[in-house]
Amino acid sequence: MKLIFNDATELVVQSADIQSDGGLLIKTISASEEDLKTMFQDQTKTKKMVVKERESTLGEYENYTNMDAIVKYTAGITGVILYKVGETPAEKIEALTAENAELKKTVNMLQGCILEMSELVYQ
């Protein structure tokens, strides 16, 4: 199986899967950790990546340009975790926290309106 980068360079990989948190995990044994850092930190190179096996396309991944981590597994397997810009778990939590704060303000405002309306009804 091979991963073809946006610049047409290739990397032999064992797997490429989207994880439950939205990250793309690519596993390989064919490159050193330093080479992987160089490859996957290049945002132009990772703008679009295609995984092929025997000329069949198994997956296309676009905009996974934010390298988050390199993970070492047993048997010499190295994994690279990539996210789309703005979609790392920390960025998602930050956005949800801000949205939650805005919703709380809206709920408080609506409760105030309901109280005012109920006072008007009982006058």
According to the model, what pLDDT value does residue 66 have?
92
56 and 74, same domain (yes or no): yes
Distances (CA, A) of 103 to 43, 93, 108: 35, 15, 9
According to the model, what pLDDT value does residue 47 have?
96
74 and 33, same domain (yes or no): yes
DSSP string over 22-52: S-EEEEESSS-HHHHHHHHT-TTTTSEEEEE
What's the structural domain count of the chain?
2
pLDDT tens, position by position, for the chain (123 residues)? 999 999 999 999 999 999 988 999 999 998 999 999 999 999 999 999 999 999 899 999 999 999 999 999 988 899 999 999 888 777 778 878 888 889 998 888 888 888 888 877 776
75 and 92, same domain (yes or no): no
120 in helix, strand or coil? Answer: helix
Q: State phi, psi for 85 to the nearest 5 degrees.
A: -60, 130
Residue 2: closest CA among 45, 83, 57: 57
66 and 12, same domain (yes or no): yes
7 and 45, same domain (yes or no): yes
pTM of this structure: 0.73
